[in-house]
Structure 1
Amino acid sequence: MTVTPTPWPAGVPGWADITVTDLGPTQRFYGGLLGWHLRPGQPETDGYVLATVDGYVVAGIRVSDVPQPAAWCVYLATDDIAASVATAVGAGATVALGPVSVLSLGRMALLSDPTGALVGLWEAGDHTGWELTDAPGAFVWAEQMSHDPAAARRFYTELFGYEQQDMSAPDFTYTSLSVGGTPAAGIGGYGPGAGDVPAAWTWYLAVQDADAVAPRVAELGGEVVSGPEDTPYGRMLLVRGPAGEVLALLQAPEEDVVA
């Protein structure tokens, strides 16, 4: 478990949020599955809700009357959002929003990377990002998957100067990106059976028991897309939430669990 009240280092995933039109199903799903408690933000945040675990902020939920495709947006931390956006555009990204200031909370931008995946950038102000990681119900990993992982690697490495570790196998393309020697995120390639699945960032949240969680997904209004299955990094399942959003749940290997 990691608790931090300080801004995340540049290039490290530091926040995730989603926009939904109905908070009720989302509250029921994540509260029942991951133990989230939802805390309304300040009135001036226009319907933005903070999800907490044991009092620590772990995610954001925006409620809007305007229907839009539901998906979790992963934000990468930056120390200078204007410079990061300029670098991203020069490397082939398209700006979808910003940079814009969000009260005194920080500054944000949304980009479409060269493979078409949406990614956020966050320059911390009063809001430093998630306060809890590597604990049940909280962030543990994030990765970008596309049909052109080489283009994705070039883009994100140019953006944040990541160190790369190739973890590919004969039927699997994957690179771990690190900041200062600490793994930050992954870049992977879809297999031949993926069809026209669009490029996307997916975040992983920790669970204590993937097999116990799996049957509850449907009970709470979601759907198990795949798993649970064993991976080198723990037991994983991919799920779809009540608004159609996709996320991954990961049970750490036994030797990695801290009591």
Structure 2
Amino acid sequence: MTARPEGTPVWADAMFADLDGAKTFYGEVLGWTFGAAASEFGQYTQAYKDGRAVAAVVPPMPGQQGHSAWVLYLATNDAAAAAERVRAAGGAVLMEPLRVGTFGSMAIVRDPAGVVFGLWQGGDHEGFELRDAPGSYGWAEVFTRDTAAANSFFPQVFPYRVQKIVDDNVDYSVYLLGDAPALGAMGMGPETPSEVPPSISVYFVVEDCDAAAARVAAAGGQLLFGPLTTAHGRFASFVDPQGAAFSLIDPAAAEGEAPSTIEVS
């Protein structure tokens, strides 16, 4: 497998106090199956769709019990160098680069506004074996109260070009690698409760967003927003029974024209 360009979303995982409950929920919603827990790596358990790795779940380490959340990992050729770029751009390194056996090296970092994400330097494990297909990763957005700061920070860490959507009703930017969109950035408006933390929202692809939303409800999840049809697909946002936020999108249900953009960096 060819290594992904730096800044490419390559993996997602989440900690759950109730690991079996998480497996049941995402199995029912996305059709995931799960491999054996890796005891040498804290019971890290990969999720599969059609036999290909799409994400992972893990129980919290001692002292890390708390709110469940999905973490998106961005590719880097050198985790230590990328962590230093995070610091130089005003961010923080929460977990120093760590070698994970022969699989690769990881770090957990945070941007100046509080958005947490991972760095992944691939070894034997280069990331998603399936993406942009039902049951797998499809998109992600930086959800922040300071998009100007995000639009400055992320291109200092990765070789992103930034385009801003021309629309007075939405504060949205797209980060591109070359001409390919890699990540979005959405401004948190005044309607967002103050207790909602900045984060990266991970989208998983489904074939029918409304049917998937019904599965989420039946499995004990909560609808936060949508379903809504856009030029990029029909999507909705949720929290799972353990409090981890995520979104689902059906790209085939897209309607309308994509909005205009302007280059900002």
The corresponding residue for 1:25 is 21
TM-score when normalising by structure 1: 0.93
- What corresponds to 1:7 in structure 2? 3
Q: Is the contact between residue 231 and residue 254 of structure 2 (CA under 8 Å) also seen in structure 1?
A: no
What whole-Å deviation, never above 9, does each CA across 1:143-172 have from its counterpart, x for those lacking one? 101110000110001111211121141021
Matched, 1:177 2:182: no
- Where 2:211 maps in the other structure, the secondary structure is helix
2:54–2:130 CA contact under 8 A, matched in 1 = yes
User: Moved runs in structure 1, 4+ residues, more than 6 A?
Assistant: none
Query: 1:61-82 deviations in whole A, cap 9, x for unaligned?
Result: 1123642210000111000111
- 1:1-259, aligned counterparts within 5 Å? 5-64=1-60, 66=62, 67-196=65-194, 197-254=196-253
Judge conservation of contact 2:42–2:61 (CA < 8 Å) in 1: no
Cα contact 1:78–1:84 (8 A) shared by 2: yes
The whole-number CA distance in structure 2 between the counterparts of 1:227 and 1:126 is 38
For the structure 1 residues 198 and 42, does the alpha-carbon distance in structure 2 shift closer, same or farther, using more than 3 Å as the test? closer
Aligned to 2:262: none
SS in 1 for 2:191: helix
Q: Which runs of 5+ in 2 are unaligned?
A: 256-265
Deviation at 1:194, TM superposition (A): 1.2
- Write the deviation string for residues 80-101 of structure 1: whole angstroms up to 9, x where unpaired: 1111111110100111101111
Q: Secondary structure at the match of 1:253?
A: helix
Q: Secondary structure at the match of 2:247?
A: strand
SS of the residue 1:194 aligns to = coil
Structure 2 counterpart of 1:221, which letter?
A: G
Residues matched between the structures, number = 252
Q: How many Å apart are 1:41 and its aligned residue?
A: 4.2
Deviation at 1:57, TM superposition (A): 0.2
Contact 1:25 1:221 in 2 (8 A): no
If the length of structure 2 is used for normalisation, what is the TM-score? Answer: 0.91
Contact 1:224/1:238 (<8 A) preserved: yes
Provide the alpha-carbon RMSD of the alignment: 1.5
